[in-house]
Each structure stands twice: as structure tokens, then as C-alpha cells.
Structure 1
């Protein structure tokens, strides 16, 4: 039933992990031997982590655990090509280009099939692994989303300049897949023109190093007229200063989400490592040599260089203005030193990856785990400049004394990514909470999917409530994250509709929700989902009100947290839509999508009360009845054949039911969670470009993999971690309060039945722990058997 991984002797594993992968080995190795970082280049630095030891931590009476710790440097286990492929609803929307953790600059290849064909849905990050041509390297994008946006400031190396190269059809070129390489902080490919392109990044600067064939005519094109599929250019600006060797301007793009608020304007300052031999620009037509300035919807520029050494093109970015983009470039890449930037990027990744050490017997598991951790640390996006300036959701410029982030995919990330950051990277999470508070203060409303500098109103629910509750319950200081201000903004939209003309949409039919106890089907699409999300959000608000001493609010929101019961139809035994008259809407086929659910069907949404799983079980007839139903749900899932469309039973490729494998443990059945979380991990994830179960959604699915691999899973907005089945014999999480060890002497895939679990040597009565238990460190042991 479960695939079994071949176990490796430690000496063989060490040799495998120390082997330099061959160039172009980008598909990933599905065996447990050979290369561990498919397509990754050999890192230029060793480990930069401090205070982390790879020596065994077993006590004198504890038997030696099998396997070995993942060898350093940990970046060798990162495969950025995982999730860059897939088809249909299985597209991962990852990109292989470089960045630093949560950086603004994400230079990467914008690719197409032959002739320039590229479907938007499979190119949300600008890249798909199956593509054969490159039509530029843009500097901005998102990770893992199901919507296309950004793709600003495209540069492209080419040989010679001609009028047809003002359009992608003139400069698009095939790529040599055998030469394509990617690792944490670095990407490289050789184009059919013979030009070698290498990319790296700092926090706010994208660096491209182009090596041209000897004796050819080196040209670099800056195209501000074209971007990613389905993304339009509103305007572009080019100001060439040949003496300074610099181009400044902006690229205003309008994508699937940014188009909702008029698009996002990205400012840039571009510099070259060598003087221009010639330059020119264009505006909706043929290029003009020596023309220094252009502005419009179809503008661009070209730079010609004398033949010789490689050319480094560095692009500083800012949401504030071009002067700040130049300031960022001055601060982060003043010498345009590509190797120094790459070394710094790799060091930044090594430092953050070292927050977790894992011991195992499979090189492939190391690759899956650290590639997931890499994906977790890509988004949200840094949006403040080196002097603390940032453009707020009111389109005004503000200053902050800490990092300010944007691009919060909250409906997705509140479930797994933010709880992971709260646990492992509280310094990042604290800055993100402060960023959300500033958004509410600047723009007037707490957003639910802010992108760049605007409100998008994407998805359902007010998920920031759960993000704050999760962090506050786990020890964040309310004053330090500005909770009082954030709570006031979230309370306002929970109590009344927003005024007409507001940039924020507010809660759907909140007046009806308060009056009836549910969002009626007459309110429009996703009415049932809005009821369930609002109840969950109200649960979170009750916890935040308690933290602020607002006892009246706490009681009110705690009562409203039970409103999910108002859409539970005892006859259908489903959470469904309900009309204003009180009638439940019949579901003819629980396997098909209904208008009253957001991206799911009745069977998947049947488990969507994460804050009240016990109450849901009671509605189903008690824990035993709920467990029997859940078991059948997964047995049916196991039989389902995967295709291009969403799964009809358990669907790991989207968010509403991804907590379901751990509902077993919530109801006291650790064996069920151990078995089915392992099944999901082994059957919905892989080490190939199609190795994600669907859109990674800003790292949400990768964070799920990490929790499942560690054997603990958070219920967001609570202190609870539910137990599963670790795939590593030992994991060490370097927490702020002390090291958390998770020990599992047996990790074989055909031995996932839970035998026992203990915390600090004492047996656990239930398969769960609270954050307060683990925050100061300790040892959790999970014993598994056949």
C-alpha cells in the first residue's frame, strides 16, 4: 500500500550527498541514491550557520538512531526545479530563479513553448519546466500562486540590434535544457544563441551576468512593453544616463490581481558593469540610436557593448521611486560584483535552512524537506527600501524602522506557512505582523490579499485574524506587533459592511451573517464558504479580544464562532448553503463544485471547522462515527486516479481540506493521522518539476510537507499541534526558547502505525501538544510500527 524507500548505509549516503550533480540533471532523482539536489550547482561557500552541531544528540540511555544528519552545506539539498512543472490543476507555479529569503528581487527566466505560446495559468511565475524558449529575464514575480502578476523590468541578452527586437518575437530564443542549473541563490542557462545567462540576487537587486560568444555583437535589451502572459503594461519609462552607465524609470504592470487596483508600479535603476559602446531606445516603433528618454505603453531601450569580458546587468528595485531604486542598488551591489552577491545569497540561505536539522536514511527525503523549507522562505515580499521608506496601501510614502512586507496570500498561508514562521522564524513573523498592522493603519482596512501597493480583495474570509491569533497565543507581545490597532480594524469589518467606494471589500454580507447567523445563498458566490470562514475568523477574534482584555467582545465573538452549525444540514450530513428563509440547499452530487463553496466540493468542505473539530464530530454522530466517515473519505481518495482536474475526494492541491489527515489525531486516533499524512506526503509530493500537488500558494503546500515530515501539524489560530508520523529518525528545531527534538526510531513507510508517543519521557494521553509545552524545547518521541 505504501511505497518503501530503500535504506542506505550512512557511508553511501554521505558519498551521494557530497557528489556534485551533473549539469542539466534537473528532473530530480526518484531513487534514494545519486544526486541529492537535481540540477543544483555546487555551492561556492560552506556552511555559514552558527551554533548548530551535526553531532548526535542521543542521551546515554537512548539507543543510536538510524541514519545520519543531512550533510552540510544544507543548500546542496535544495532543488528549485521542484514545482516548476505540472499540468492542469497540478501546476506548482514555482520558479527556478534566485532570490534571498523574502526578497523583493526575483530575477528569473520568462519562458514559452516554441513560437511564444504560454498559457497564463501555467506561467503564473513566468516559467514552466516543459518550455523550450526564453523571452527575457524579468525582475519581479510571485511564488506558487494561481494568478499571474508582476513580471516587471525585463532584460534580454541578444546578438546585434534590429527593429524586430523591440518585440519578443524578435529576441525570443531557444534554451539548452542540458545546461540549465538552479540552486539556492543562483540560476544559469545557455541560450541557443550561445549566450550564457547567470542570475543571482540581493534583497532588492537582481543581477544578471551575460557571457557572449567571442567575436559577436553583445546587446542587452530592456523591454518595458511586454511581460508575463495576461499581464498588461500600463506605462513604462526609460531615462538613459550614458555617462553614469545607468538607466532609470518605472514599469507599471497590471496583472490578474494588481489590475483590481489599477496595477502596480515598480521603479528601477539599471547599471552595467562595462560602459555602453552605444545605446538607443524606442516608443511603439523602431529603435532610435542615442535617444535617451521614452515614456509610454510600449517603450524600451538597448545597450550595445564592445566584445570582451562578461557583462553584469544589475537592477535595483523599489515601490517608492527611481531614486530609491538607485539607493538600494548603491547599498546592496555597489561594485556590481556578481560572485560576491551569489556568495552572500548562499550564505543567507544556509543560515536560515540551518534552523532545522534532520537525521534520515534517504537523500531524497533531505531534498524534499530542504526544498520545501526553501519554498517556505520565498514569499511574502520585502517592500521597504534600505532607508525604511515604503509605499503604503494608501499610495503614500511612509517610513519604518524595520522590514515592511507585502504580497500576503493570507487565505492560503494562514493555515501552515505563518504557523511555521511563528514556530521557527519568529523574527520574520513579527515583522510581517507589524507590516499588516501598518497596512491597516495606512489604508484604513486590514487587507485579505494585499499585493504590492494595493488591496486585491482576493479569496474569502478575513484570514489575517487567524494569523494574529496564532502568533499571540504562541507568545508574541501584543504591543510589539500593534495588536490594538490591528484588532480595531478587524473588528470594524466584522461588525458592519464597509462604506461604498472603499478599496477593501469587507466581509461578504456581514449584516446578514450577524442577523441570521450565516451568509445566505442569495448573497452570491461562496456563501457557505464565507459562513465557515467568518466563524473561524470570529473564533480568532475572540482570542485576540481576550488578549486585549475586551471580555465583552471575547464572549460575543466566541458565540459567533459557533455559527458554522447554522449551515450544518443534519439530513444531508454536510456543511451546505442556506437560503434566507432557512431552507438548506440540496447537494445533488457532493463530488462536484457548487457555487456556494470556494474552490472545493461538499465532501472536502465537510471537515472545514478547524477551530471546532470536536463539535463537528458531535454533529456527525460522535467521534467514532466521524472517524469512520473520515477513514472512508481517505480510502476513496486512495482509489482516485489523478488527472488534470481537481481531486474529488481529499485534495492536497488546495487549502480547504489540507488539515483533514490530522483530524484523526484531533479525535484521539493517532494511527489514522500517522497513516494518512504519510500517504499524502508520499503520493502527492515528489522530487521532480511536477513534485508539488498544485499551486504552492506562497509556500503553503511546502509548509504542509514540512509539518507532515516532522510529524506535528498546527491547527492555525490555536496552541494545538496534532501528531502524525515523522519521516526522519531525529529532527532538531532550533527554537527561540531551546531546541525541540522529535525522535522516531522507526520511520519506514510500511511502519506508520503509531505505537506510543511521549513528551520529555512521559507518555502522552492524547496525540497532541500545546505550543507552551514545546516553546522552551524538549524531546517528543513518536514510536511507529507495522
Structure 2
């Protein structure tokens, strides 16, 4: 028996060696492919895949685009752990708020179910660079490549010789849409995004083919279709060119403008030349910062973060015009108009970084904010294509305006900017994930200097409060203390003495929720009584009853505007430093698995 086992093991040895050689060869080939597209200078450290797996919240996405430009693409999959791709979008409208026009290659004659299947890809053969994407679809035996322009994109598909080859187009949104083949190699389209925004497509294939559409779940040999859930398909000759290309342009203005965008960027561009232009654009951004020392891993993290810094905002201006979701009108402009900024995330570091690296661009972005205020009546908090996305809390653009103004960035209507942030601070609701006029809870805050919270288990009585996001009472008080301080400082710089005094006083509101006994920022009810909670765990999902997507230990330090004041609340630097050490050294106090299970259960409930 031992002899038999030994002989069997020997018989497996050549197979094992062969598998090992193939694996090493595949890995080396993949690494070679990545290196071939690494780029010059510090571009080689940029890795868009970092953060592509989200443990609790949404992952980052491996966005392929030109810096701060409209056309963005990443393959549609749950995250990087997902080994199947459902489709390739023609444009990511917002990094977490949807996409338009799906595209999918298949090596079969399409039927009504062809749009449903997912495409397995090879991790080792996927190349993800900021300016270029490539992957190999294992089951389909198709290579997919993509390069972006400003308002255009370019897909290239390599099929196996003498195999069926088709491209399937679809839509991601539920509104009215349209596809129309205006020739055997040209297509136009309209997709309705976010209920009322028309997104226009003009595209050209490199060869003519058999075309058709889908409507009412029927595969039709008709050149156009409109309505809801419509699709289009194009099948190329099986004995024709193995390489199929699709060049296209997107417009938020009109079909005619989509064609103009196409003609403007594709005058004499090949796939390769567009790729080189993209690499150059990213080289200009990434290589403007030189670093000394550090490990390879640290450089990889740093330069990837720098790449992320140019993902948003995006310029949606088309030939001196832009569509604004803030008033649903088309405007003339001699400056870029930027959207897609999640200020709750970007005001602390990204906007200040841009004032250093690209101050004129930061001025254009702040100028866009001013126009958004003029068009909508409110200074936005999360400006995206369809307007101000009600999300998170705070009026943190106030901080960005102050920072820019004090650094000498004033190429926008400063008076109008002040008017907008002042109106938000005095007339807009502070409620999380809500837009619009103030409520009685806001008036309570103005009068009492803190946002009132509910006791554990107490039922919400104010219908304006978001069902899931809750009041976030401590987070609201701390965040708006910072915003009001910034508004007071801006008022001081502009010579508005009364406003300076008013908002400087409101900037001290954070102290109203300081519990000296617990040495924490704690909630109070409407009567001014402390609410006894465990700041580590209480507050429901994400601590939202009192904090926001975190606990009291994290919000303990959210007094960026008055660090000395916070040190004073602790009783001095030693106590402050001890508390900071405690934050990092004290264990959670319960199993991390139990904590995760509890969060999952709350989410299900």
C-alpha cells in the first residue's frame, strides 16, 4: 500500500511541475502586461485596484478616465472579489449614483437572454491603469480594451478567428430610452437618467453589420426602438475582421452636441494615440509631486491616493455650454462647470490639496458652486449631475470657501458665495440627508446651541427626520460648529463685524455637548438633560441616533477649528494626550465578530 501511494505520488509529479510552470508563466505574463502599461515616472506606483473590496461600506472603484473629466468607466461587478462582469458602461455619471448605456460583447448569435449572462474574466490578465483598461473574458474568448477621452470613449474587442461576434447595448435606468441605427455602422441613443435627465449617445463601429433592437422583450430586426427597457444589438460577419472597435461620444445637452463632441475629439485619433494622450494627461498630474525616501508600498499608496484626487469633480462643459441639474437648463459659460463632489468627504483634505496643486481649477470648482447657488437657491452640499444630492450632514463648502479665500483664490463672485453660505447657515435645514428650508429642530439649535436627541427607544415625532439616517444629534452639533466658525472667519475677512460675532459664538456650540464627567461629547434631550448612552456602541446602525457612521470615540476629536479649546475641555495637554492614547490602545470590549453580527442583524431588521 505504501509502495502504491509512493508510485501514485511520483506519477503526479510531472503534472504538478507542469501546473507550477504554467502558473508562474501566467503570473509573469500578467506582470509583464501591467509593466508594459505602467507609464513614466511615478505613474508606475498608481494602482486603481487599491480599495476595490469593501469590508463594510462601498469599495472604491478602478475608474478609467482623464483627470477630472466627464467620461469614466469601470467594469460592472460587485467588487474586486467578484469574478464575473455583467457589462461595460459607456459612462459613469456619478461614482456611486449610476451609469448610462451598457455594452457587452458575446461570441454567439444574440437571443433575448444574451443580455442577462455574466462574463467571467481572468484576474491575472486584467490591466487597470487610469488611462487604459484591458481584460480577457475567459468563457467568451474575447479581449476587451478601453481608453477614455474628455467626452468620448473608445472600446476595442478582439474576437477569435471565424467565431460569432456581436455587441449588445442596453440601458441602466428605468426611464424612457431610445436606440437608433442611422446606418449599418452608426448608432444614436438616449437614456433617461435620474427620472428627467436626457443623456445622448452617438457612436460608430469600424465595420458594417446586421443590426436590430429589443422592445417588449422581443428580439427584432428593426433599426430603432424607444420606450422603457429597450436594447440594441449588432452582429458582425463571422469571417470578417477579428477586431471590432466602437468609438462614441456622450452629451448631456443634445443629440447634435453628442455628434459635435465625437467630431471634435476623434478628428484624427486612433486607439493608440488616445491612449498616449491619456497617459500624458495623468503623467502631468502624478509627476508634479516628487518624493524622497519611503518604501515601495508607501509610494504605491501615496500616488494611488493622488490619482483618486483627480477622479472628481468632473467638467461637464461642452463647447462653452453645460446642462445644469440645479435648474434643469442649459447655460452658456466661458469656464468649466464641475459636478460630482461629495463635500462631507472632500472638504478636509482634497479641496485644500487642490488649492496648492491646481489653484485655478479649484477656483473654477468654487465658481461652479456659486452658479449652483444662483440656479437653485441653496449652496450645495453634494453637487452631482441632477442637482444637490441630499446626503450626510453639514454645510462644509463654507470651510472650502474660507480656505480658498485666505490663500488668495478669489476668481469667483465672493459676495455671492458669502450670500449662499450665509443663507444655508440661517435658513436651510441641518437634518441629515435632507435638503430645503429649516425646521423646528433647526430653530431649536439656533436658540439652544445644540441639536436635541431622543432617548434610547424613544419614538421619533418629527416627520422631517430621515427614517434610516435619524437625527445624528451630536454629529450635527459638532459639524455645524465648525461650519459656523468658518462662516464667522469669512465674515471677519469681509468686514462683516456683526456676522463675525454671531457665527463665532455659534462656533463654540460644540462645548454645549461636552460631558466633563465622561470626557466625551454626549447627547442631550430637548430639555437639556444628558442622555446616558454607551458612546462606543449605542445609537443604532452606524450610531446614527447620536453620531454618524461611527461612534463617540471618533467624534471626540471633531473640533478641528479649535484644538486648543478641546485641550482645555480635557484639562490640559497631558489629559488630551492620554485620551488619544486610550483611543488607539483600549480594546473594543467585545468580539469583533459579535460586533459585525450585531450590525448585520440591525441591517436586516
Calculate the TM-score normalised by the size of structure 1.
0.66
Q: Is the 1:166–1:286 Cα contact (8 Å) retained in structure 2?
A: no
CA contact (8 A) 1:320 1:391 kept: no
Number of the residue aligned with 2:105: 157
Is residue 77 from structure 1 mapped to residue 25 from structure 2 by the alignment? no
Q: In 2, are the aligned partners of 1:199 and 1:208 still within 8 Å (CA)?
A: yes
After TM superposition, list the pairs within 5 Å mapping 1:693-704 onto structure 2. Answer: none
- Cα separation, 2, equivalents of 1:646 and 1:437: 42
Residue 276 of structure 1 corresponds to 208
Greater share of residues in helix: 2
* Maintained 8 Å contact 2:488/2:503: yes
Corresponding residue of 1:598: 548
1:298 and 2:229 are equivalent in the alignment: yes
Q: How far has the Cα of 1:263 moved from its partner?
A: 6.4
| SS of match in other structure, 2:489 | helix
Structure 2: how far apart are the matches of 1:640 and 1:498?
Answer: 37
Question: CA 1:638–1:183 in structure 2 vs 1: closer, same or farther (change >3 Å)?
Answer: farther
- Which residue number corresponds to residue 99 of structure 1? 65
Out of 122, 128, 138, the position equivalent to 2:89 is: 138
Cα deviation code 1:284-340 (max 9, x no counterpart): 312211x22222220111122232142221231222222222222221223462111
**Mapping of residues 202-241 of structure 1, within 5 Å:** 202-224=149-171, 227=172, 232-241=173-182
Residue 531 of structure 1: aligned partner = 477
Q: Is the 8 A contact 2:252 2:322 kept in 1?
A: no
- 1:301-340 to 2 correspondence within 5 Å? 301-306=232-237, 307-335=240-268, 337-340=270-273
Query: Aligned partners of 2:595, 2:126: CA distance in 1, in Å?
Result: 30
2:80 counterpart of 1:129: yes
> Residues 230-269 of structure 1 correspond to what in structure 2 (within 5 A)?
232-242=173-183, 245-254=185-194, 262=195, 264-269=197-202
Total equivalences in the alignment: 549
Q: Does residue 423 of structure 2 align to residue 492 of structure 1? A: yes
CA separation of 1:204 and 1:266: change in aligned 2, threshold 3 A: same
Following the alignment from structure 2 to structure 1, what is the Cα–Cα distance between the partners of residues 259 and 487?
Answer: 42
2:313 is matched with 380
2:302 matches 1:369: yes
Matching residue of 1:4: none
Distance change in 2, residues 1:246/1:545 (3 Å): farther
Q: Is the 8 Å Cα contact of residues 206 and 315 (structure 1) preserved in structure 2?
A: yes
Structure 1 residues without counterparts, runs of 5 or longer: 1-20, 26-34, 46-71, 112-122, 255-261, 649-786
Q: Is the 8 A contact 1:175 1:191 kept in 2?
A: yes
Q: Distance in 2 between matches of 1:549 and 1:323?
A: 48
**2: CA distance between counterparts of 1:208 and 1:453?**
27
Distance 1:583 1:179 in 2: 61
**Does the CA contact (< 8 Å) of 2:535 and 2:553 recur in 1?**
no
1:35-58 CA distance string (max 9 Å, x none): 9xxx7342487xxxxxxxxxxxxx
Measured in 2, the distance between the counterparts of 1:402 and 1:385 equals: 10
- Note the C-alpha offset of 1:427: 2.4
Question: Helix, strand or coil: the match of 2:297?
Answer: helix
Aligned to 2:560: 610
SS of the residue aligned with 1:249? strand
2:34 aligns to what?
40
Q: Which of residues 333, 340, 344 is equivalent to 1:400?
A: 333
Instruction: Report the RMSD for the aligned CA atoms in angstroms.
Output: 2.8
Q: CA separation of 1:44/1:340 partners in 2, compared to 1, >3 Å: closer, same or farther?
A: farther
Picking from 16, 24, 28, the partner of 2:30 is: 24
Q: 1:182 aligns with which of 128, 149, 152?
A: 128
In 1, Cα distance between equivalents of 2:234 and 2:63: 23
Preserved contact between residue 234 and residue 252 of structure 1 (Cα < 8 Å):
yes
* RCO higher in structure (CA 8 A, sep ≥6): 1
How many Å apart are 1:249 and its aligned residue?
Answer: 2.3
- Over residues 90-141 of structure 1, what are the superposed CA-to-partner deviations in whole Å (9 max), with x where a residue is unaligned? x5x2223421101211122112xxxxxxxxxxx4xxxx11111122101333
The structure that has the greater radius of gyration is 2
How far apart are 1:505 and its partner, in Å? Answer: 2.7
Q: Deviations over 1:10-45 (max 9, x none)?
A: xxxxxxxxxxx94435xxxxxxxxx9xxx7342487
Deviation at 1:168, TM superposition (A): 1.9
1:474 Cα deviation after fit: 1.8
SS in 1 for 2:491: helix
Residue in structure 2 matched with residue 389 of structure 1 by the alignment: 322
Structure 1 Cα separation of the partners of residues 225 and 485 of structure 2: 53
8 Å CA contact retained: 2:85, 2:120: yes
Q: Judging changes above 3 Å, is the alpha-carbon distance between structure 1 residues 637 and 383 closer, same or farther for their aligned structure 2 residues?
A: farther
- Cα distance, 1:390–1:190 mapped onto 2, change above 3 Å: same
Farther off after superposition, 635-644 or 191-200: 635-644
Larger mean Cα displacement after TM superposition, 322-331 or 587-596: 587-596
Q: Aligned-pair distance for 1:496?
A: 2.5
Answer yes or no: is the 8 Å Cα contact 2:326–2:386 preserved in 1.
Answer: yes
What CA deviation, in whole Å up to 9, does each residue of 1:596-643 have, x standing for no partner?
A: 211111111111111111111111112221111111112237999877
Deviations 1:184-223 (A, max 9, x none): 3011011121111001101221221111111112211111
- Provide the secondary structure at the position in 1 that maps to 2:284: helix
Equivalent residue number for residue 17 of structure 2? none
